[in-house]
Structure 1
Amino acid sequence: MKNDHSYEVIVIGAGIAGLTCAAYLSKNGYRTLLCEKGEKPGGLVSAFTRNGFTFDAGIRAFENSGIVLPMIKQLGIEIEFVSNPVSIGIEEQIIKLQSKESLNDYRSLLWKKFPKNGQDIDKILAEIKKTMKYMDVLYAIDNPLFLDFKEDPAYLFKTLLPWLLKYQINIRKVKKMDTPITAYLQQFTKNQALINIITQHFFKNTPAFFALSYFGLYLDYRYPIGGTGVLVDKMIERIKANHGEIALKTAVSSIDISKKQVKTRDGRSFSYQALVWCADMKTLYSVLESEPMVVQKQRKKISDQHRLIAENGGGDSVLSIYLAVNLDKDYFAEICGDHAFYTPQIAGLSSIYPKNWDEIASDHQRSAENKKAALKKWLADYLALTTYEISCPSLRDSALAPEGKTGVIVSTLLDYRLVKQIADAGWYDAFKSYCQETIAAVFDKTLFPGLIKNILDVSCSTPLTIERLTGNQAGAITGWAFTANKMPAENQFAKITRAVLTPLPDIFQAGQWTFSPSGLPVSIMTGKLAADAVSKKLKLQRAGG
């Protein structure tokens, strides 16, 4: 690629938001360059193959939410999907979510484990059912952002307008459920262990609606044949087919706003008419080379947003181990099914608090070796009590593992800061081995007896791995931390169209740092919104010039 290339649009960051944005812009005929600093596109939507086993490196399945499937259809992408049933387990008991009626099975499971809290459980289940009714309205139709009303003008009046009325009513109800999930459930029970069992596979301070909605979203999960990385491959094909360009291993070193020019670390430069930033938001403000020629009011907005971004951090991250197991997929199908959330003990993580790992790490009275031993003990307790996400790709697509064997992904939330301190202390590799052994032992004693002797291979991904491979600050997997006093991103769905705007001239944004909370559907949606905003701007420029 030659220096000083000119593009109508440059998209920075080839995660799912960047891919979506570039796919629509190239489809609309704009000369588009998609830059990605890593070796692979996809971000948190990716897969890898190791010794014949294919594992999903990021997201384990797709929730449609009226967004994913319409986007794929609108872009002309063909992907075969299969159902992705989800199970929930506590100790020795697993239930499989097959329909809304499965919530009664979940009720029975909680009643069995917490027999003294039956009334509390029923109150909480009523909240979940209420949330599911809201979702039935919010996701009742395909998101209108991905529909072409010219093909079916009657749809606008017969379906969309009546839905919009219901949507506005229900979105106001949803706004009343923005309390952090733990505090929200404390209205209905004082049993912290019960609250933990329901909430500890959610992120810290997750809004109540976002958390409780997952019991409905689990029924909406789908899995692409070939693994989750297939979506990325298909979107790249679509971008290239529409003459969009993709530059991998292309890290941005500076953006000159006045000249509308992007420079890369390897010495290349590209000019743009509009730019869409779909990468780490702190990096955007750190690479600005010249102050834009704007009025004082606009300059203050830029300064305020820069400060707000600098003051906040990424949300929770995960630790994952990838197991190649010499056991047939039927073994796992019988026990946990394709995709499960499992808690080995009912004591809950509150039983190891209020003493947290950071108290141990900051105890200056301890020697380095004593601190290491104490942290390992804390980790052992944590890994025995936390909730795990279990995914078996070959149960949805048998080609993803050798015959008679199964690849199993086991993940749990883990604080980035803990892993960073361990790495800085020099025992990162030992930490990964310890987690692999401890988690395998937990499952060998509980859900998968005999697991250890059947492990053929194991590898580990930590929050540091996610940060290194995706560029996500602190290995965050849902964008900004919910603990922020003031969110540096839009967090009201009614205003999501504004989420792609920045105070920087001719620069838009999309992805998980743009809207909070953010997952796959929101990343896709903001990618499309940014593409639409850029298209509108460029059309006006063409018309005026």
Structure 2
Amino acid sequence: MTHKDFIVVGGGIAGLTAALSLAHKGKDVLLIEKNDHCGGLMNSFLREGFRFEGGARALVNAGLVKPMIKEFGLGVEILPNPISLGVEDRLMRIEGEESLYTYADMLKKLYPGSEGDVDRIVAAIHDIIENMKVLYGVDSPLFAKKKKNFLVLVPAMAAWMLKFLRTMYRISKMDTPFEEHLDALSSNQSLKDMIGQHFFRKTPVFFALSYFALYNDYIYPKGGVGAFIESLVQAIRSRGGQVLLGTEVVRLDAGAKELADASGQVYHYGNLVWAGDLKALYTLSDPSGLGEKERAGFAQRKEKVLARKGAESVFSVFLGVDLPPDYFGKIASGHLFYTPDRKGLGQVHDGELKSLLGRWDSVKDEELDDWLKRFCRYNTFEISIPALRDPDAAPAGKTGVIISALFDFELTKRIKESGRYEEFKRRVEDEFIAALSSSIYPGLKDKVLFQFSASPLSIYEKAGSSEGSIVGWSFEQDIPVVTSMFRMADSVKTALPDVYAAGKWVYSPAGGPTAVMTGRIAAKKCLG
């Protein structure tokens, strides 16, 4: 049996943050990761000489990442990550806050007669950006270098906290679904789609409409997102921490404070940070050794967590293209959000999809194909071209391209059960390529050297994320975790003694920044 004061399960960004925070304090920490590499939904990989991001296409600094790099001396070089937006043949690059009004002009030209609606929407976005500046525009003292002079540190912390709390209060009043907010500002469904297709269904309005602030805060590590992850792993090891890869935890005995992996190895912990899927924590845990009151609390919490589902997932297509990066750079930046048709999805991804799933056994292949064509034609794609940010990401004269769109896990699951999974994946790949080849990148399909894809099922199987979710819980139901920023410190608590949780499943709405924050908070809870 292995005995450790601190064990972290899950090597994603939340688990790495927790483990590094503990190791940095000189604590005896073991991080256990089931895959052969850390990163979870933040990773990079090579295919035929091309480097791709397997999860997040870049990092959002959010006042956290750069200070984290500085505090822990990670030695990661940060490259610019400019964002472009486009609809049909209209494209623009985000260059600061003033780009919001360039965006407004673009929308007004796309939707004549809706100029007043655009002004109202843009005014709402501007108000939210002012609030989000505090969250994502100021380096958090959580990762500030410790100052020797305590009297210098306290005023800086107090000033930051005052701004933070004031902003949190304003944001807490903006928790309605963005669809409802947009409905109050416009009756033009296509206009609302151009804005709303960027987000998961029922995303809280403050989280959704703050995206312009986030666009200005994206950064890209030289060597890819995976290089940042690897720097965290090395930092943990250099401080005496252990990172155990290829090890899947299959049981947690809460009474004995023991974990067991698939090979039968047992690990005893003093404090545990669970930075994996929250459903897995409550499924694998055995509370029988706890007191009656603790068992009852665990059972209640387990029922609530297992009854909920994750948010929509994504479908990603990876291409090796026989075109130089300059071909793409003359059109847009290396990270862009693009919609081929101003019409928008309408009910294609909502009412129509629900109808298909509701009568699945009678749906013909032709009907599904027709739905898929329209889904790809009217959708909004996130396009990432690593070599436009880091030239080393592709062979000379060639370019790697990643194309992603929000996608339904249940549909993918039904396709798999019907035996058409590989065929369907190829069809989605071809439709994604066709949509861009006939619009922003003419002739792209004729220059593809190779293509492959990752579906919501791929995320579920490789990352162990329920329903293939990349942002945690679905906003279409009651959320079983903390949703108030005032209570973020409570988000890491579980129904098990000396067990804390971190990552996208413990707080909602979630993303990379909240995963980092909850990892840090969980580590502090362990330290008491």
- Structure-1-length-normalised TM-score: 0.94
Matched residue, 2:330: 334
Matched residue, 2:8: 11
Q: Is 1:524 the equivalent of 2:520?
A: no
Cα contact 2:349–2:375 (8 A) shared by 1: no
Cα contact 2:256–2:289 (8 A) shared by 1: no
2:265 to 268, 273, 276: 268
Matched residue, 1:408: 401
Cα contact 1:358–1:418 (8 A) shared by 2: no
Cα contact 1:179–1:208 (8 A) shared by 2: yes
Q: Secondary structure at the match of 1:434?
A: helix
Matched residue, 2:384: 391
Q: Is 1:363 the equivalent of 2:356?
A: no
Alpha-carbon separation, structure 1, partners of 2:458 and 2:370: 23
User: Structure 1: which amino acid aligns with 2:319?
Assistant: L
Matched residue, 1:459: 452
Pairwise CA distance, 1:147: 2.5
Pairwise CA distance, 1:321: 0.5
- 1:111-130 to structure 2, matched below 5 A, reads 111-130=108-127
Task: Pick closer, same or farther for the CA change 1:475–1:364 going to 2, 3 Å.
Answer: closer
Pairwise CA distance, 1:170: 2.0
Q: Is 1:222 the equivalent of 2:215?
A: no
User: Structure 2: which amino acid aligns with 1:317?
Assistant: S
Matched residue, 2:441: 448
Pairwise CA distance, 1:299: 3.5
User: Structure 1: which amino acid aligns with 2:383?
Assistant: I
Cα contact 2:318–2:401 (8 A) shared by 1: yes
Alpha-carbon separation, structure 2, partners of 1:173 and 1:391: 33
Alpha-carbon separation, structure 2, partners of 1:528 and 1:353: 37
Matched residue, 2:316: 320
Q: Is 1:277 the equivalent of 2:270?
A: no
- Structure 1 moving runs of 4+ over 6 Å: none
Alpha-carbon separation, structure 2, partners of 1:500 and 1:168: 19
Q: Is 1:515 the equivalent of 2:507?
A: yes
1:300 to 285, 296, 302: 296
Alpha-carbon separation, structure 2, partners of 1:157 and 1:267: 49
Pairwise CA distance, 1:48: 0.8
Matched residue, 2:176: 179
- 1:32-51 to structure 2, matched below 5 A, reads 32-51=29-48
Task: Pick closer, same or farther for the CA change 1:331–1:274 going to 2, 3 Å.
Answer: same
Pairwise CA distance, 1:357: 2.6
Cα contact 2:136–2:217 (8 A) shared by 1: no
2:198 to 201, 215, 228: 201
1:372 to 351, 355, 365: 365
Q: Secondary structure at the match of 1:356?
A: helix
Task: Pick closer, same or farther for the CA change 1:360–1:402 going to 2, 3 Å.
Answer: same
Pairwise CA distance, 1:438: 1.1
User: Structure 1: which amino acid aligns with 2:63?
Assistant: G
- 1:58-207 to structure 2, matched below 5 A, reads 58-207=55-204
Q: Secondary structure at the match of 2:346?
A: helix
- More displaced 10-residue stretch of structure 1: 399-408 or 25-34: 25-34
- 1:12-31 to structure 2, matched below 5 A, reads 12-31=9-28
1:53 to 50, 60, 70: 50
Q: Identity of counterpart residues, as a percentage?
A: 37
Task: Pick closer, same or farther for the CA change 1:355–1:515 going to 2, 3 Å.
Answer: closer
2:491 to 488, 499, 503: 499
Q: For residues 279-327 of structure 1, what are the alpha-carbon distances to aligned partners after superposition, in whole Å with 9 as ceiling and x for unaligned?
A: 111111111224243352x433322211110110111110010111111
Matched residue, 1:231: 228
Q: For residues 437-486 of structure 1, what are the alpha-carbon distances to aligned partners after superposition, in whole Å with 9 as ceiling and x for unaligned?
A: 1111111110100111111111111101111111111110001111122x
Cα contact 2:62–2:138 (8 A) shared by 1: no
Alpha-carbon separation, structure 2, partners of 1:5 and 1:165: 44
Task: Pick closer, same or farther for the CA change 1:353–1:82 going to 2, 3 Å.
Answer: closer
Cα contact 1:33–1:244 (8 A) shared by 2: yes
Q: For residues 15-53 of structure 1, what are the alpha-carbon distances to aligned partners after superposition, in whole Å with 9 as ceiling and x for unaligned?
A: 111111111112212211111112221101101111111
How many residues align? The count is 528
Q: Is 1:424 the equivalent of 2:417?
A: yes
Alpha-carbon separation, structure 2, partners of 1:268 and 1:521: 33
Q: Secondary structure at the match of 2:337?
A: strand
Alpha-carbon separation, structure 2, partners of 1:278 and 1:379: 35
Q: Secondary structure at the match of 1:89?
A: strand
Pairwise CA distance, 1:278: 0.6
Task: Pick closer, same or farther for the CA change 1:207–1:242 going to 2, 3 Å.
Answer: same
Matched residue, 2:339: 343
Cα contact 2:287–2:295 (8 A) shared by 1: no
- More displaced 10-residue stretch of structure 1: 232-241 or 299-308: 299-308
User: Structure 2: which amino acid aligns with 1:109?
Assistant: M
Cα contact 1:149–1:155 (8 A) shared by 2: no
Cα contact 2:317–2:403 (8 A) shared by 1: yes
Gaps of 5+ in 2: none
Alpha-carbon separation, structure 1, partners of 2:339 and 2:233: 38
Matched residue, 2:474: 481
Alpha-carbon separation, structure 2, partners of 1:204 and 1:26: 39
User: Structure 1: which amino acid aligns with 2:352?
Assistant: N
User: Structure 2: which amino acid aligns with 1:425?
Assistant: S
Pairwise CA distance, 1:371: 2.4
Pairwise CA distance, 1:168: 2.0
Q: Secondary structure at the match of 1:115?
A: coil
- More displaced 10-residue stretch of structure 1: 165-174 or 473-482: 165-174
Alpha-carbon separation, structure 2, partners of 1:364 and 1:394: 41
Q: For residues 97-127 of structure 1, what are the alpha-carbon distances to aligned partners after superposition, in whole Å with 9 as ceiling and x for unaligned?
A: 0111111110011000111110111011001
Alpha-carbon separation, structure 1, partners of 2:105 and 2:296: 55
User: Structure 2: which amino acid aligns with 1:177?
Assistant: M
User: Structure 2: which amino acid aligns with 1:125?
Assistant: V
Q: Is 1:309 the equivalent of 2:301?
A: no
Cα contact 2:147–2:153 (8 A) shared by 1: no
User: Structure 2: which amino acid aligns with 1:389?
Assistant: E
Cα contact 2:271–2:498 (8 A) shared by 1: yes
Cα contact 1:361–1:375 (8 A) shared by 2: no
Pairwise CA distance, 1:157: 4.6
CA RMSD of aligned residues (A): 1.5
Pairwise CA distance, 1:184: 1.0
- Structure-2-length-normalised TM-score: 0.97
Q: Secondary structure at the match of 1:186?
A: helix
- 1:242-261 to structure 2, matched below 5 A, reads 242-261=239-258
Alpha-carbon separation, structure 1, partners of 2:297 and 2:327: 57
User: Structure 2: which amino acid aligns with 1:193?
Assistant: S
